[in-house]
Amino acid sequence: MDRYSRFVAWLKVLLPLAALALLSTLFLLSRNTDPVAAIPFADDDLLDRVRDEQITGPFFSGTTTDGDRVSVAAGTMRTGLGAASTVEDLSAQIDMLSGTRIILFSDAGQFDMANARSNLTGNVVVTTSTGFKMTTDTLTADFDAMRVEAPQSVTALSPFGTLNAGQMRMEKRGADENSHLIFTEGVKLVYDPSNREE
């Protein structure tokens, strides 16, 4: 066997042994890491998650005793000590037996699933299939009784113009009836006949 062949034979043995030696030093000299410390959560976020149960993207749907369909969704929901849960990015859709659809949006609020009630706060928008779009800061909704109430000022765009009022409530007087919008406390209507359909 010539010198070159012997050199290649030795390399076939020495190179794998050198690779094993390098790998073993990597494992032996590596630093131990705390797996809990490596999780990228802020202390405040961890405390919030431990203190309150949180659900991301909850969705609820059901039917009232009158046959109206209600569906509620949110970005997040946190359950507290009371019956009501704190929600963010709340949206609700009510399909009434009479054919009217009501859609609610708000930045935040409280949702009481056991009593089918909700208190909405922050940039509340109510849209109806009859052509109304109302905005307010606070809204309470009783889904069983199909009653929605805004105790603060409301601005509404309607098929016949712009309407401002100190308070608003939407209620159903019969099982087969549409909801009635009732504006009170200093109602001001700017009539725009161009908004009416011919």
Number of other residues whose CB lies within 10 A of the CB of residue 129: 13
How confident is the model at residue 32, as a pLDDT?
A: 63
Maximum separation of any 2 CA atoms in the chain, in Å: 110
What pLDDT band is residue 198 in, cutting at 50, 70 and 90? very low
The answer regarding whether domain 54-195 maps to CATH 2.60.450.10 reads yes
Q: What is the DSSP string of 136-166?
A: EEEEEEETTTTEEEE-S-EEEEETTEEEEES
Q: Quick check: helix, strand or coil at residue 3?
A: helix
Q: Are 99 and 77 in contact (CB under 8 A)?
A: no
Q: Mapping DSSP to helix (H, G, I), strand (E, B) and coil, where does residue 13 land? A: helix
87 in Cβ contact with 108 (< 8 Å):
yes
Instruction: Give buried/exposed letters for 33-59 (b at 16+ CB in 10 A, else e).
Output: eeeeeeeeeeeeeeeeeeeeeeeeebe
Backbone angles phi, psi at 15, to 5 degrees: -65, -45
Q: Give the pLDDT confidence score for residue 66 in this predicted structure.
A: 77
Gyration radius of the chain over CA positions: 32
106 near 88, Cβ under 8 Å?
A: no
Report H helices in the chain.
Answer: 3-29, 43-51
pLDDT at 154: 87
pLDDT of residue 95: 86
Eight-class DSSP state of 30: P
Question: Tell me, what's the pLDDT at 33?
Answer: 60
Would you kindly state where each structural domain of the chain is located, as residue ranges?
Answer: 54-195
Q: pLDDT tens-digit profile of 9-49?
A: 888 888 888 888 888 777 777 666 665 555 555 556 656 65
How many residues make up the chain in this entry?
Answer: 198
Span 99-158, pLDDT tens digits = 888 888 888 888 777 777 888 888 889 888 888 888 888 888 887 777 888 888 888 888
SS3 state at 129: coil
